[in-house]
A and B are shown apart, each in its own frame.
Chain A
Amino acid sequence: MSPLNTSCHDTAAGPVLRVTGDLDYEHAPALRRRVEELILVPGQCLVIDLSGLDFCDSSGITALLAALRHAQAKGADLALAAVPANILRIFSVVGLDRVFTLQA
């Protein structure tokens, strides 16, 4: 089990949040808090880069859904970038590939 780390940088289109480690029952709340701290303005797109994500369970999915809701509440969009194949498989089983905007 690896701890969760997040790092953030701003681009013209909006903030990019890179997530590495495990997004599970123990660590998902940290991502939720991190996202809620982000300042988003209408029209921006928050990108969550999941290329360093090792594991994602239902708590992790909840955190990502909370992020989506947070972005939409601010009038912004959310996109998930570089979703690892094993997590993409889960997303397609549960239909999340049609809920989230996915970037390569």
Chain B
Amino acid sequence: MCRTAEEPEPDADRGTDAAFSALLEDSAEDLYEQAPCGYLSTLMDGTIAKANATLLGWLGLERQAVVGRMRFTDLLTVGGKLYHETHFAPLLRMQGELGGIALEMRTGSGDRLPVLVSSVVKYGSGGEPLLIRTTVFDASDRRAYEAQLLRRRQEAEQARAEAERQRERAEDALRQAESDRARLTEALAALQQSLVPTSLPAVPDLESAVYYHTASPDRLGGDFYDLFPLDEDRWAFFLGDVCGKGPAAASLTSLTRYTLRAAALHDPEPATTLATLNTVLHEQYTAAGDPRYCTAVFGTIEPGHDRQHRTVRLASGGHPPALVLRADGRAEFLATPGGLLVGILPDAPFTTAQTTLAPGDTLLLYTDGLTEARTGPTRTSLFGDDALHAFATDHAPAGPQEVITALTGLLKSFGDGLDDDTALLALGVPATRATTAPTTPPATNPTNPAR
């Protein structure tokens, strides 16, 4: 009741007091019988001495059937009886009171009634126990609430278990993806190794060096090269670049490499070998409406007029010209006129060019990853042929490994500018140590790692 700071209003107060009095006129008997909870008193042996109307109403039992005739445990279910005997009664005897114990009662019609029971022992003046007073609260709602809580908890546990299963499935998928990726990487690496040799063969009296860069690890390279024997004295080599990227480019590279190797064994004349490749690629792709092509330099190298000189014959199909770094410090592009992209026309003209490599001379083949490497912010600031020529002139004379090392350093300096695959292949006749060297180099010539 809210009282204000103002003078109290006696009339209103009197009205409220009258309402209170009307309530308090309730007899104690009526309060006991109609209380919102069940009351019962039992003798120490459990015989029910008194029970209120509320409890009897809940249980649907007549007073005369209960009082003096039933024990408290007779009102309980079997489970309730057991709990009463093993826990409730001993604790009550020991402590003299017990509160809020959940038990189940059985109604006259056989239904179960969940209840909360509190009991207290009434003692006599001599301290001897006289009787037990018990209140019984209807716990149906509370049980329902507990059941609901339990159900919710089970649902939450199910959801958690489901989430756990989902997580396990996601982890399985991730493991699967990782294993797939590892397998794919392995397959790609195996495929890539079929496109370029894992190492160059040792060629008598010839030094060789190679550099191979794939711009992006998930895209198979489109550049290729090879060096292989034709017979005892003659070797063939090639280097090129197929159009496109990825698996389609890889299949083209594979076809190109093995066609060149087979064609060279049949007829190693460079222009003829490239013409054969042209026919094969044109038949396979362009004639079928899917223009694909490659650029390639194909060449042969064999002993020249003496064992110190080598004759190189090569032809180019749409490929940047080979570069020769001479022993005297010059560098020159080896013109291979007329070469057209291999595979775009049914009959493409190729011509064979020839040069001689003297001791200390190095022949360099490269793909356009080098000359098309970006040296500036735009795609049109490219390294270019002139810059390559100047670079070669700076470094000549230089052996194959020296040239490749210098160019590798140059490529690294391009950084992100190197956005294409790049292949470099250098072949050179070892420089003689002195002018008095014998015309036939000794078998243990230390400048020749191929020996």
Residues of chain B from 236 to 251 with CB closer than 8 A to chain A in the complex:
241-245
Given contacts A25-B244, A55-B379, A94-B318, contact A62 B340 (CB under 8 A): no
Question: Is there a chain B Cβ closer than 8 Å to A61's Cβ?
Answer: yes
Given contacts A69-B291, A86-B380, contact A98 B340 (CB under 8 A): yes
Question: Is there a chain A Cβ closer than 8 Å to B344's Cβ?
Answer: yes
Given contacts A25-B245, A58-B244, A99-B345, contact A93 B291 (CB under 8 A): no
Per the bound structure, the CA–CA distance linking A71 and B182 in Å amounts to 45
Per the bound structure, the CA–CA distance linking A55 and B380 in Å amounts to 7
Per the bound structure, the CA–CA distance linking A4 and B244 in Å amounts to 18
Question: Is there a chain A Cβ closer than 8 Å to B341's Cβ?
Answer: yes
> Would you call A69 and B340 a contact (CB within 8 A)?
no
User: CB < 8 Å: which of B222, B291, B295, B380 contacts A94?
Assistant: B295
A86 partner residues in chain B, CB cutoff 8 A: 380, 382
A66 partner residues in chain B, CB cutoff 8 A: 291
B72 to chain A, nearest CB (A): 88
Per the bound structure, the CA–CA distance linking A1 and B295 in Å amounts to 25
B222 partner residues in chain A, CB cutoff 8 A: 58
> Would you call B340 and A99 a contact (CB within 8 A)?
yes
Question: Is there a chain B Cβ closer than 8 Å to A6's Cβ?
Answer: no
The B interface is mostly helix, strand or loop, or mixed, namely loop
> Would you call A54 and B339 a contact (CB within 8 A)?
no
- Which A residue sits closest to B292, measured CB to CB? A62
Residues of chain B from 370 to 411 with CB closer than 8 A to chain A in the complex:
379-380, 382
Scoring B243, B244, B340, B420 by chain A CB atoms within 10 A of each residue's CB, the highest score goes to B243
The A interface is mostly helix, strand or loop, or mixed, namely helix
> Would you call B318 and A93 a contact (CB within 8 A)?
yes
Binary contact track A70-87/B, C-beta < 8 Å → 1, others 0: 000000000000000010
> Would you call B379 and A95 a contact (CB within 8 A)?
no
Question: Is there a chain A Cβ closer than 8 Å to B286's Cβ?
Answer: yes
Binary contact track A1-22/B, C-beta < 8 Å → 1, others 0: 1000000000000000000001
Interface size range on B against A = 20 to 34
> Would you call B379 and A22 a contact (CB within 8 A)?
yes
B291 partner residues in chain A, CB cutoff 8 A: 62, 65-66, 69
Question: Is there a chain B Cβ closer than 8 Å to A96's Cβ?
Answer: yes
Given contacts A25-B244, A59-B243, A59-B244, contact A65 B379 (CB under 8 A): no
Q: What total of chain A residues lie within 8 Å of the partner, measured CB to CB?
A: 20
A59 partner residues in chain B, CB cutoff 8 A: 243-245
> Would you call A62 and B320 a contact (CB within 8 A)?
no
Question: Is there a chain A Cβ closer than 8 Å to B10's Cβ?
Answer: no
Per the bound structure, the CA–CA distance linking A104 and B286 in Å amounts to 28
A69 partner residues in chain B, CB cutoff 8 A: 286, 289, 291
B450 to chain A, nearest CB (A): 32
Per the bound structure, the CA–CA distance linking A55 and B374 in Å amounts to 12
> Would you call A95 and B380 a contact (CB within 8 A)?
no
> Would you call A93 and B344 a contact (CB within 8 A)?
no
Per the bound structure, the CA–CA distance linking A95 and B293 in Å amounts to 12
> Would you call A94 and B340 a contact (CB within 8 A)?
yes
B292 partner residues in chain A, CB cutoff 8 A: 62
B286 partner residues in chain A, CB cutoff 8 A: 65, 69
B6 to chain A, nearest CB (A): 83
Per the bound structure, the CA–CA distance linking A57 and B400 in Å amounts to 29
B420 partner residues in chain A, CB cutoff 8 A: 57
Residues of chain A from 43 to 65 with CB closer than 8 A to chain B in the complex:
54-55, 57-59, 61-62, 65
Per the bound structure, the CA–CA distance linking A57 and B222 in Å amounts to 13
User: CB < 8 Å: which of B243, B320, B338 contacts A58?
Assistant: B243
B234 to chain A, nearest CB (A): 28
- Which B residue sits closest to A56, measured CB to CB? B379
Residues of chain B from 295 to 318 with CB closer than 8 A to chain A in the complex:
295, 317-318
A4 to chain B, nearest CB (A): 13
A32 to chain B, nearest CB (A): 10
Per the bound structure, the CA–CA distance linking A90 and B149 in Å amounts to 78
B339 partner residues in chain A, CB cutoff 8 A: 95
A99 partner residues in chain B, CB cutoff 8 A: 340-341, 344-345
> Would you call B318 and A65 a contact (CB within 8 A)?
no
A1 partner residues in chain B, CB cutoff 8 A: 379
> Would you call A61 and B243 a contact (CB within 8 A)?
yes
A95 partner residues in chain B, CB cutoff 8 A: 317-318, 338-341, 348
Binary contact track B336-378/A, C-beta < 8 Å → 1, others 0: 0011110011001000000000000000000000000000000
Per the bound structure, the CA–CA distance linking A20 and B332 in Å amounts to 36
> Would you call B318 and A62 a contact (CB within 8 A)?
no
- Supply 27 A–B pairs (Cβ within 8 Å), ascending by A: A1-B379, A22-B379, A25-B245, A54-B379, A54-B380, A55-B379, A55-B380, A58-B222, A58-B241, A58-B242, A61-B341, A62-B244, A65-B286, A65-B291, A65-B293, A66-B291, A69-B286, A93-B320, A94-B295, A94-B318, A95-B318, A95-B338, A95-B340, A95-B341, A96-B340, A98-B340, A99-B340
Assuming A58-B243, A65-B286, A99-B340, what are 5 further A-B pairs, CB within 8 angstroms?
Answer: A1-B379, A25-B244, A65-B291, A95-B317, A99-B345
